[in-house]
C-alpha cells in the first residue's frame, strides 16, 4: 500500500563537505543512509530518518544537518500534522500505535509555575561552598517514636551526647543525594547501560533500579546500590536476585502506561534476554496489568510480606504505582499494606514501549500527585511509615528541589539519565534499533556505548545537580534536605489556578506568610 504519510525530518548533506566516508551509512540502524553500489555514492532516504541526530553528530566533516521536514499540511489547529500522520499510519497498518519515552504532548508543566523562596535580610542565607550542607537522607519506614538511653557510666560529655538507640529501626536505604536512577530493565536497555547506571550509583552513593527484566550475573557485584523489581511477569525473580539487592520494588504500574502491563517487544528478546527472563527468544515479554495474584490492598500486602519473609525483613519493600486520579487513597492503602517506600510515577514518566494513546492521555502530573499523597498521609498520621519517591519527567535540579519541598523524600530519574548517556529522545526505543546504543540489544549497536564513559557522564550529572540543590537550599537558608522536605511555605505558585494551588497547598506568588 502506498503510504500517504510524509517524512518527519529532512537531512541536508553538504556535498562540498561530504567526503563519502560512509560513517553515516554505518551509524544509521534505520537505513536512512545507504551506499548505492552502482554509483558508489552515499544516498539518503529521509522517510527512514527518526531524528536521533546520530549521523549528524558522528559525521567527521559536519556535512549533515537534520531538520524538520518543512512542507506543511494546510494549517489546522485541530487536525495538525501529528494527528494526520497517526491516522495515515493506522489506516495503513491497522495497528495500535506504539511509542517510546515519556509523553511529548504539550501539557502544562507545573514545575515551571512553582517558584522557590530565598532568604533576604530577616533570615540569613547559607553559603554552601564554605558551610556544611546535608543532602544525605534515608528511605524506609520510620518508627512513630524512638527510645534511646544514655550510657551514664561514661561521663565524658562527648559520649553522653551520643546516646544509644533502643528502638530497632526498620531497614533503610541510605542515599547521599536525593536522586535515584529509575527502573529501566535489562532488555529495554542494553547491559552496558545497566553497567553504567550501576557504576554511577555506586560512586554517587545512590541506587539504580533493575526494572522488571531480571538481573544479569555481571551486575550482582553492585548489590549494595541495587533496587530489584518484581512485576507481574516475574522475570528473573529468585532468591539470588533478592540477595543481590538492597531493596525490592513491586511494580504495579508506571507513569507512561498506567493500567497497562510491561511489554518488551520480541525484537529485543535476544538469546541472552531470553535466558535472564526465562521466556522463549523472539517472544514479546509480557508483564500484564494486573498482577493476577493482586486484586486488592490485602493481596498487595500478601506480596509485600511474602517478599519481607523472603528477605528476612532486612530489606525495604517499595511499591511503585502510576499517578492516577485516586492516587492519595491508593498510596494510603499501599502504606497500610506494609510498604516501606511508595514510588509514584507521573504522567510524563518514560518507557521503552507504550501504546501512544495510553502514554499521552492517562494519569496525572507528578507535581499534583506528590502534594496530594504527602498531604493525605500526613492527615492520616502515617507519613512516617513510608518514604515517597517521586518519578516522571524530572528535567533538572530545580524540579528535584520543588518535588522534595512538596513532600517527596527523593526522586527517580530515568529520561534525564538516558539523555546524559547520549539519548536524543527520538522515541524509537521499542524498535530495538537505538543508534545511541542505549535501548537496543543488537551487539553492533550495544558496543557504541562505553559503560565507563557513560558512568562518568552520569556521575557528573548527579554531582552537578547535587551542587545546584545545595546552592538553592543555601539560598533559602536551609542546610539539610530533611528540613526542606514538605516545607511548602517556601513555595509559591505563579500562574496557577485556585484548584491547583489548593491541591499543591501552596500560596500564590506575592502572598506573604
Partner 1 sequence: MIINSKNMTHRMLNEKIRSGVRNGDRKIILKNINGQRYIASGLKSEVNIKINGTAGNDLGSFMSGPKITVYGNAQDCIANTMNAGKIVIHGSVGDVLGYGMRGGKVFVRDDAGYRVGIHMKSYKEMIPIIVIGGSVGDFFAEYMAGGIIILLGLDDTKEIVGDFIGTGMHGGTVYIRGNINKNRLGREVDSVEFDDNDKKIVNEYLTEFCRDFNLNQKNLVNQKFTKFKALNSRPYGTIYAY
Nearest approach, Cβ of residue 181 and partner 1 (Å): 25
Q: Are 386 and 432 in contact, with CB atoms under 8 Å apart? A: no
Task: Measure the N-to-C terminal CA separation of the chain; round to a whole number of Å.
Answer: 65
Site for partner 1 in 77-136 (CB under 8 A): 89-90, 92-98
Site for partner 1 in 354-383 (CB under 8 A): 355
Nearest approach, Cβ of residue 356 and partner 1 (Å): 9
Rounded to 5°, the CA angle 124-130-135 comes to 80
To which residue does cell 517558584 refer? 115
Q: For residues 309 and 498, which CB has a smaller minimum distance to partner 1 in the complex?
A: 309
Among 207, 430, 436, 465, binds partner 1 (CB under 8 A): 430
Question: Residue 440, interface with partner 1 (CB under 8 A)?
Answer: no
Among 274, 384, 479, 487, binds partner 1 (CB under 8 A): 274
Region from 34-42, 226-234, 337-345, 448-456 binding partner 1, contact rule CB under 8 A:
226-234
The Cα 342–Cα 50 span in angstroms is 36
CB neighbour burial string for 62-84, b if at least 16 within 10 angstroms, e if fewer: ebbebeebeeeeeeeeeeebeee
Question: Residue 5, interface with partner 1 (CB under 8 A)?
Answer: no
The Cα 49–Cα 32 span in angstroms is 5
The Cα 45–Cα 3 span in angstroms is 15
The dihedrals phi and psi of 260, each to the nearest 5 degrees, come to -120, 145
Q: For residues 117 and 267, which CB has a smaller minimum distance to partner 1 in the complex?
A: 267
Q: Are 436 and 449 in contact, with CB atoms under 8 Å apart? A: yes
Instruction: Annotate each residue in 291-330 with x if it binds partner 1 (CB under 8 A) or - if it does not, as one string.
Output: -xx--------x--xxx-xxxxx-----------------
Instruction: Annotate each residue in 166-205 with x if it binds partner 1 (CB under 8 A) or - if it does not, as one string.
Output: ----------------------------------------
**Alpha-carbon torsion 125, 127, 131, 133, what sign?**
positive
Q: Are 252 and 320 in contact, with CB atoms under 8 Å apart? A: yes
Q: Are 138 and 172 in contact, with CB atoms under 8 Å apart? A: yes
CB neighbour burial string for 160-196, b if at least 16 within 10 angstroms, e if fewer: eeeeeeeeeebbbbebebbbbbbbbbbbbbbbbbbbb
Q: Which of 180, 204, 137 is nearest to 345 (CA)?
A: 180
Q: Which of 83, 44, 49 is nearest to 69 (CA)?
A: 49
Among 283, 296, 361, 460, binds partner 1 (CB under 8 A): 283
Q: For residues 178 and 262, which CB has a smaller minimum distance to partner 1 in the complex?
A: 262
Question: Residue 284, interface with partner 1 (CB under 8 A)?
Answer: yes
Q: For residues 87 and 146, which CB has a smaller minimum distance to partner 1 in the complex?
A: 87
Q: For residues 261 and 407, which CB has a smaller minimum distance to partner 1 in the complex?
A: 261
Q: Where are the beta strands (DSSP E) in 150-233?
A: 164-165, 173-175, 179-181, 208-209, 226-230
Nearest approach, Cβ of residue 99 and partner 1 (Å): 10
Q: For residues 251 and 277, which CB has a smaller minimum distance to partner 1 in the complex?
A: 277
Among 278, 329, 464, 489, binds partner 1 (CB under 8 A): 278
Region from 203-211, 273-281, 341-349, 377-385 binding partner 1, contact rule CB under 8 A:
273-281
Instruction: Annotate each residue in 233-272 with x if it binds partner 1 (CB under 8 A) or - if it does not, as one string.
Output: xxx-xxxx-x----------------------xx------
Nearest approach, Cβ of residue 277 and partner 1 (Å): 7
Nearest approach, Cβ of residue 266 and partner 1 (Å): 5
Nearest approach, Cβ of residue 249 and partner 1 (Å): 15
The Cα 105–Cα 87 span in angstroms is 17
Q: For residues 163 and 288, which CB has a smaller minimum distance to partner 1 in the complex?
A: 288
Nearest approach, Cβ of residue 303 and partner 1 (Å): 8
Rg of the chain taking only CA atoms, in angstroms: 25
Cell (9 digits) for 375: 498531604
The Cα 167–Cα 413 span in angstroms is 33
Region from 77-85, 118-126, 288-296, 461-469 binding partner 1, contact rule CB under 8 A:
288-296
Among 5, 57, 159, 275, binds partner 1 (CB under 8 A): 275
How far is CA 88 from its chain centroid? 32
Residues in the interface with partner 1 (CB under 8 A) total 46
Q: For residues 97 and 119, which CB has a smaller minimum distance to partner 1 in the complex?
A: 97
Q: For residues 170 and 477, which CB has a smaller minimum distance to partner 1 in the complex?
A: 170
- The Cα-based distances of 89 to 31, 204, 264 in angstroms read 20, 44, 21
Among 4, 73, 169, 286, binds partner 1 (CB under 8 A): 286
Q: Note the residues at the interface with partner 1 (CB under 8 A).
A: 89-90, 92-98, 230, 232-235, 237-240, 242, 265-266, 274-275, 277-280, 282-284, 286, 288, 292-293, 302, 305-307, 309-313, 355, 430-431
Amino acid at each position: 500500500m502506498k503510504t500517504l504519510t510524509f517524512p518527519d525530518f529532512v537531512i541536508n548533506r553538504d556535498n562540498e563537505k561530504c567526503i563519502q566516508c560512509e560513517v553515516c551509512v554505518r551509524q544509521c540502524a534505520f537505513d536512512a543512509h545507504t551506499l548505492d553500489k552502482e554509483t558508489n555514492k552515499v544516498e539518503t532516504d529521509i522517510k527512514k530518518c527518526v531524528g536521533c541526530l546520530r549521523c549528524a553528530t558522528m559525521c567527521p566533516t559536519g556535512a549533515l544537518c537534520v531538520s524538520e521536514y518543512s512542507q506543511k499540511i494546510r494549517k489546522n489547529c485541530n487536525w495538525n500534522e501529528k494527528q494526520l500522520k497517526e491516522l495515515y499510519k493506522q489506516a495503513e497498518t491497522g495497528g495500535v500505535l506504539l511509542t517510546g519515552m515519556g509523553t511529548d504532548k504539550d501539557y502544562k508543566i507545573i514545575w515551571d509555575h512553582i517558584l522557590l523562596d530565598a532568604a533576604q535580610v530577616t533570615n540569613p542565607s547559607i553559603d554552601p561552598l564554605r558551610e556544611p550542607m546535608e543532602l544525605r537522607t534515608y528511605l524506609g519506614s520510620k518508627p512513630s517514636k524512638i527510645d534511646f538511653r544514655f550510657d551514664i557510666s561514661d561521663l565524658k560529655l562527648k559520649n553522653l551526647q551520643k546516646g544509644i538507640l533502643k528502638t530497632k529501626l526498620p531497614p533503610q536505604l541510605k542515599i547521599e543525594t536525593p536522586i535515584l536512577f529509575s527502573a529501566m530493565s535489562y532488555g529495554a536497555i542494553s547491559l552496558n547501560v545497566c553497567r553504567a547506571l550501576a557504576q554511577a550509583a555506586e560512586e554517587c552513593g545512590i541506587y539504580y533500579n533493575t526494572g522488571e527484566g531480571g538481573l544479569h550475573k555481571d551486575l550482582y557485584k553492585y548489590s549494595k546500590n541495587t533496587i530489584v523489581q518484581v512485576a507481574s511477569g516475574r522475570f528473573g525473580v529468585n532468591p539470588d536476585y533478592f540477595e543481590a539487592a538492597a531493596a525490592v520494588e513491586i511494580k504495579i504500574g508506571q507513569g507512561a502506561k498506567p493500567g497497562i502491563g510491561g511489554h518488551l517487544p520480541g525484537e529485543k528478546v535476544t538469546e541472552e534476554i531470553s535466558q535472564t527472563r526465562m521466556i522463549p527468544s523472539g517472544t514479546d515479554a509480557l508483564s500484564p496489568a494486573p498482577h493476577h495474584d493482586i486484586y486488592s490492598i490485602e493481596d498487595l500486602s500478601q506480596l509485600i510480606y511474602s517478599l519481607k519473609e523472603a528477605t528476612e525483613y532486612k530489606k525495604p519493600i517499595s511499591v511503585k504505582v502510576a499517578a492516577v486520579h485516586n492516587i492519595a487513597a491508593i498510596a494510603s492503602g499501599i502504606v497500610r499494606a506494609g510498604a516501606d517506600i511508595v514510588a509514584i510515577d507521573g504522567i510524563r514518566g518514560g518507557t521503552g514501549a507504550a501504546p501512544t494513546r495510553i502514554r499521552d492521555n492517562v494519569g496525572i502530573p507528578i507535581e499534583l500527585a506528590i502534594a496530594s499523597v504527602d498531604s493525605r498521609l500526613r492527615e492520616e498520621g502515617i507519613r512516617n511509615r513510608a518514604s515517597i519517591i517521586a518519578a516522571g519527567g524530572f528535567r533538572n535540579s530545580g524540579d528535584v528541589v520543588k518535588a522534595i519541598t512538596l513532600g517527596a523524600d527523593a526522586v527517580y530519574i530515568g529520561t534525564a539519565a538516558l539523555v546524559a548517556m547520549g539519548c536524543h529522545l527520538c522515541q524509537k526505543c521499542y524498535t530495538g534499533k537505538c543508534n545511541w546504543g542505549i535501548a537496543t540489544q543488537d551487539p553492533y549497536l550495544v558496543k557504541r556505548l562505553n559503560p565507563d564513559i557513560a558512568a562518568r557522564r552520569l556521575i557528573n550529572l548527579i554531582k552537578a545537580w547535587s551542587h545546584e540543590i545545595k546552592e538553592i537550599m543555601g539560598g533559602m537558608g536551609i542546610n539539610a534536605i530533611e528540613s526542606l522536605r514538605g516545607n511548602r511555605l517556601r513555595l509559591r505558585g505563579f500562574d496557577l489556578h485556585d484548584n491547583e494551588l489548593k491541591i499543591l497547598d501552596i500560596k500564590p506568588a506575592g502572598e506573604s506568610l
